[in-house]
Structure formats: C-alpha cells, structure tokens
Chains A and B, each alone.
Chain A
Amino acid sequence: MASIVLRSRLLPRLAKLRSRNLRCFSAEASSTNSTSRYSGVTSTQSMFSDFPPPNQPPPPPPPQVEAAAAAATGKERKGLKYLGYALLWALTGATAATGYASFAYTIDEVNEKTKAFRESATKTPVIKSSGIDVIDKYQTKLYSAAMTGSARAIDKYLELREIVEEQVKGFTEPLSEKLLPDLHPAEQHVFTLVLDLNETLLYTDWKRERGWRTFKRPGVDAFLEHLGKFYEIVVYSDQMEMYVLPVCEKLDPNGYIRYKLARGATKYENGKHYRDLSKLNRDPKKILFVSANAFESTLQPENSVPIKPYKLEADDTALVDLIPFLEYVARNSPADIRPVLASFERKDIAKEFIDRSIEYQKRKQGQLGQGRFWRR
C-alpha cells in the first residue's frame, strides 16, 4: 500500500519536469536568434536556477499510512474484545442452563431429553470432496465439531451428576435395607412395638441456668416392663446415635428394649427425617409405631398409634392409658393391625378403646348378641 502511495505521488513530479524541459529548449532557441553574447550567459543562469537543489532529502512518509495501520490494529482489538464478551456470555448461559437442568429435572429425564441430540451428534456428516465451495466445507466441519463438543459435555455432566447423587444418597437413605435382624422362628406371631423418644417417652428442655435436662414420662418404667412381655420393643428415634444410646441405657436398665435405631436409620426427605417402617425387616401387618408426632414423622402412617406429646405436665397419664389397648392387641392378635388402627380415625386411641370396652360390656350384659369388637 505504501509503495502504491509513493508511486502515485511520483507521477506529478515527472510531469512537472517535462514541462520545465520544454521551457529550457525554447529559451535556447531565443538566445540563438539574438546576436549578442551577453544575453546567452543570462539565459544559461536562468536555466540552472529552475532545477531543484540535488542534495535535498526526500520528504517523510505521509501520516495517512500510520493512521491506516492504527485503524487496522484498533479494529483487530475491538474484534477480540467482542469475541471475549461473546465467550463469557456463552459460558454464563451454559452454566445457568446446567443449574436449571440440575434443579428442575432428574437425571433420567435429562438423559432421555438429550438422547436424540447426542445420537445425531455421533453420526459423522459425509464431507463431499467434490464440493467446489471451500467455505461450505469449512462450515460443515465447524458445525460437526460444535455438535460433538456439546454431546461430550452433556455426557460428562451426566456422569458427574450420577456420582454426586450416589454420594448424597449415602446420607439420605437408611443405612441398610434390613435395619433389624431376622425374627426368631419361635416368635413369628409377635408384634413389633416401635417407640419414639422425644415427647413420647421423655422430654428435654434447655435453660441457660441449668443447661439440658431430660425428664422421663410418668409411667415409662411400667410401660416398658409390662409390654416387654408381649411385644418386641424397638426404639426408633430421629436423634443422633450418641444421644439415643445413653438415653436408652438410663431409660431401660432391665433391657426390655431389644433394638435402638437412631438418625442414621431414618430417611431424609425434604429437610425432615422420616421413619421407614418398611425397612425394619418385619411383617408390616404386625408393626405398631407409637409417637407423639406419629402421622407426620413416618412413611407408613397407617401403622401409627398417636399419643399426646409430653411437655412436662405433672398429671400426664397418656402412656399408662395406652397399656390396655396394646395389651388387648397382643392377646387377641388381629391378622392385620392396619385396619384396626384405621378404625380409630386418628382419635385418642386409649380413650376410644375404653369407651368401646364399656359399650361392649353393656351389650354383652344386655344379651344383644355378640357383634364384632372392631367397627369394620
């Protein structure tokens, strides 16, 4: 470009030189025509003065060249900046899409939705060697590379997510499919009584002056002693194990409680620890779960026996009131305990049981016929 500019500038100078030569020739002709010698010398001097001095250096290069170069460099810089911005926004969009997919869809749904895309990406498009257009070939290769890269990225994401979800499952699921050992053959008819700890068998409170204090519910010793004869008693708490074990040792010095399950045996779901009675390795028809929050703290509410929460009332008798019902269940062994519990319609089972017993005795004394005890 610079050479072109220089060449274009030299042309006007050559034209000027030609015009000066023509003038010199005409001057000589006029001097020949004159007869005096003086006038010839004067014309020679004037001819020399018309030429520019030979020692003068050539002019510096014009600033337009520098301006053009600077403009070109600026354009390149702006292009790079825009490319960087585009990459940054693309990365942000990809991150947002990945986060949304992780939150909104399960791993199987993501796998199914992206299956078609990944299969199409694996098919290598046939590049036509006979294509005359080079740009078309380049575009095809670029498109193929983008598709392959995206498919590989999705595969990596699915692998990573599977690994992470396996790790999380180790914390949220119960620590075994069988939380209790197999039932002894001689005890196949025995019911399993699952008990909660806080607000059911005991109550804990904290004050700044005294710290933690744990109180036994009135009648808990008699409850465990009496029902230990008829039931397989299991404590299933959502507290930590280092809390459950010392408490059970103090609560039950005679060993009526056979098994103690803590938080590691619960199922963590939606920010709450649930008891999964289906993993107790026992017949679900013979499981009773006694708790102050029976229906909202288990995955099988049909096996729940609700009891009033104990909050340090001095005249609390709910635990001892429950003994007649549980004793009756153990002695009469219904085939399936779940419809029996459903017949109480989430009321106070102890009171309802006493009322039904009184009514039953009245009917029996009145010789009105022996109907079924359970309202079914």
Chain B
Amino acid sequence: MADPMNHSTGHQQQQKYRQYNPYQQVNLPYRKLYELPTSPEFLFEEEATKKRLTWGENLTFFTGWGYCTGSVLGAFKGTIAGMRAAERGESLKIRTNRILNSGGLVARRGGNCLGSVGLMFAAMESGVTYMRDGDDGSLTTVIAGLATGVLYRAASGPRSAVVAGAVGGVAALAAVAGRRIVKRFVPI
C-alpha cells in the first residue's frame, strides 16, 4: 500500500503548473489568476501508475495470439501438403477430402503447440518481471524466452532442454530487436 501512495505522491509533485489570466486585457474588477497544468492531468491515480498489461491480460493475450497464429500457419502447411499428395486419376471429392483432413489435423497441432508456448512465455515473463522488481526491459524478455524453451522441452531430457532454451533465448532476442526496429521506422 505504501508504494502506490508514494508513487502517486511523487507523480503529483511532478505535475507542473503555469499562471493564466482568462480576462486578458479587460479591466474587470473581479479578475483572477488560475493555475493550469502543463501536461494532461489524470482523473484516477491508479490509471497513472499503470504502465503495462496486467499479468492476466498478458496471459490471455499471448495464449490467444499463439493459438490463432499456430492454427493459421498449421492450416496453411497442411493444405499445401494435402495438395501435393494428390495422385493422377483421383476425383475432386477425394482430393478435397484429403486437403481438409490434412489441413485440420496440422492446424490443431500447430495451434495447441504455439498456444502452450505463449502461455508459458506469458507466465515466465510475469514471474521474471516480478522477481526483478518491476523491470520489464529487454533482459527480462530474453530471460523469459530462455526459461520458456527449457520448460517446453524439459520432458525430453536435459540435452534437448538446453538446446530449446538456447533457441528460446535467441528467438526472444530477435523479437526484442525486431520490436525496436519497428518502433524506429514505423511511426506509432
């Protein structure tokens, strides 16, 4: 409880004001000077302290996007495989059935895989952020990626876990670098 109050107090101290006279050149007897803030002023203090998604929002965001992305990519890959497996002389119905079966199967597998990866990454990132006292910088993301890879392949043995951890760390680093590049060149 003390930290948010201190933070809000600090935020209030940071609010700067300037003098303003709405009456300007008119010599009215009841003129008055008013103090106006020089930056937008929050109505609710808790909104001012919020700088990132909560851990719950993060969890649902990464899991949902992971599942959707995995499903779409898997469906695409399965459809291509189904088309390539077509043989001469087959009817259209048989070809369509093979494409749909293959696409659906690979889509489900891909969606579940990336969904679970997203879930683990969100949990890891929230945990690492908490353990590093609210620091959510690039190092936190890389550490979370590393931990996610290790956890994902933990059941396959220590050697596989180490390799997966390395892959996760590199992927997280690439994501951080990509984000910075996007922020630099894309005006958001």
Contact = CB atoms under 8 A, between A and B. Distances in A.
Contacts of B43: 202, 214-216, 247, 250-251
A324 B40 contact: no
A314 B40 CA distance: 6
Nearest to A217: B41
Interface residues of B, number: 26
Given A314-B40, A357-B26, A210 B32 contact: no
B170 interface: no
A75 B44 CA distance: 81
Interface of A: 202-203, 208-216, 218-219, 222, 226, 247, 250-251, 312, 314, 317, 320-324, 327, 350, 354, 357-358, 361
A311 to B, nearest CB: 10
A320 B43 CA distance: 18
Nearest to A357: B26
A228 to B, nearest CB: 14
B22, B36, B50, B53 interface centre (most CB from chain A within 10 Å): B22
B34 interface: yes
A186 to B, nearest CB: 23
A185 to B, nearest CB: 28
Interface string B28-46: 1010101111111111100
Q: Is the interface of B mostly helix, strand, loop or mixed?
A: loop
Contact of B47 (A214, A312, A361): A214
Contact of B20 (A212, A247, A320, A358): A320
A216 B26 contact: no
A202 B47 CA distance: 14
Contact of B30 (A247, A320, A327): A327
21 contacts: A208-B53, A210-B50, A210-B51, A210-B52, A214-B42, A214-B43, A215-B43, A216-B43, A219-B20, A219-B36, A226-B32, A250-B43, A251-B43, A312-B40, A317-B20, A320-B22, A320-B34, A320-B36, A321-B22, A357-B28, A358-B25
Given A222-B34, A314-B40, A324 B26 contact: yes
B27 A361 contact: yes
Interface of B: 20, 22-28, 30, 32, 34-44, 47, 50-53
A214 B48 CA distance: 9
Contact of B38 (A211, A213, A222, A314): A314
Given A320-B36, A323-B22, A211 B44 contact: no
A104 B53 CA distance: 50
Contacts of A324: 22-23, 26, 28
B35 to A, nearest CB: 7
